[in-house]
Copies of this chain bind each other. A is one copy, B any other.
Amino acid sequence: MVERTRNPTIIDVANRAGVSKSVVSRVFSGRGSVREETRQRVLIAAEQLGYVVNAVARAMVAHRTYTVGAFVRDASTAFYGSLLTAMQERAAFHGYRVVTATGSGRFAVADEYRALETLMMLQVEALIVCSGALPAAQIVPFAKRLPTVVAGRPETHESITSVFCDEEEGGAALADHLVDLGHRNVAVVTVAESESITMAPRTAAMARRLRQRGARVMEIHGPIHDAEGRWATETLRRREITAVMAPSDRHAVALMEQLQLRNVAVPGDLSVTGYDGIGDLATPLIGLTHWRQPIDLIGSRAVDAVVRLLDGETPPDHHQALSGSLVVGRTTAPPSR
């Protein structure tokens, strides 16, 4: 089975064009010189045979695959989906391809290791890790063998290059926004570092800035998966709370669904903030006040960094913290009490 009609090779083309395979190789690799007339003969023969260069064989001898491996935890979310698209586009610009690998759905560390190893089997020339969960310690061993960039999370490990959106800035800006509106009692859904490397610092920054500005902060800890019902309940139990800060747009929207079920008006009774500003959730129809991450920029900068590493340069901007922007929607307003 399999083993279909064997694809034509340069030898087939060479025979048909009446030249040696060396000539054909030169024509398609663009290296070395070939008389224009023979070049045309070769091109025509190839066309007739439906010849396509075999990138595998080429990689074999050239020791180059022009391929970058992207490890992504979950590509179906808007954040990673957009990141992937941005990287793919930028990589194409540089003449590279992107192959992606995921942790096969489960959360076992072994799976992630396997995924990275799969990428190595494919002879990727560099790695871009996009995961808010994979700890730096797991990445370092690969970074020692391959140019590696961590994208989309505030990674500051000294032996890892990274590109991300400044979480401190975002968290603080949202906190400022609420305080400026007059909120003095705010609930923050804080996330543990072990749960999400991206959400932890941003929620910490929110709480910190709120306190700096003299507001009272109620921190809600706990699991971030499907716990929005509990958040809503806890927040409402404390009547003085006038605003809730969620760790992401998804969580903010899920929280708002819960509030809606409990007949709590947003922002009438409670102001809500999100975080990310990516994909469909950023629609003005929802009008969520949030911090917008420049996801396309993160993706393209990550690829640029990887390409620079491949060229042997050591980029001076080892850890790039990009700026996001505050998007004020209709889910935040001055407190009504």
Q: Is A2 an interface residue (CB 8 A)?
A: yes
Q: Across the interface, do B257 and A285 meet the contact criterion of CB distance under 8 Å?
A: yes
With known contacts A99-B97, A145-B50, A78–B311 Cβ distance under 8 A:
no
Q: Is A226 an interface residue (CB 8 A)?
A: no
Q: Across the interface, do A257 and B283 meet the contact criterion of CB distance under 8 Å?
A: yes
Which residue of B is nearest A80, CB measured?
A: B81
Q: Across the interface, do B55 and A285 meet the contact criterion of CB distance under 8 Å?
A: no
B contact residues around A225 at 8 Å (CB): none
Write the A247-264 contact mask toward B (1 if CB under 8 angstroms, else 0). Answer: 000100110110010000
Q: What number of A residues sit within 8 Å (CB to CB) of B?
A: 62
Q: Across the interface, do A257 and B284 meet the contact criterion of CB distance under 8 Å?
A: yes
- Pick out which of these stretches binds chain B: A32-40, A56-64, A237-245: A56-64
Of B120, B250, B257, B285, the residue contacting A253 (CB under 8 A) is B285
Expressed in whole angstroms, the Cα–Cα distance for A60 and B122 within the complex equals 12
Q: Across the interface, do B5 and A145 meet the contact criterion of CB distance under 8 Å?
A: yes
Q: Is A118 an interface residue (CB 8 A)?
A: yes
Which residue of B is nearest A313, CB measured?
A: B1
Q: Which parts of A104-151 form the interface with B (CB within 8 Å)?
A: 104-105, 117-118, 120-123, 125, 145-146
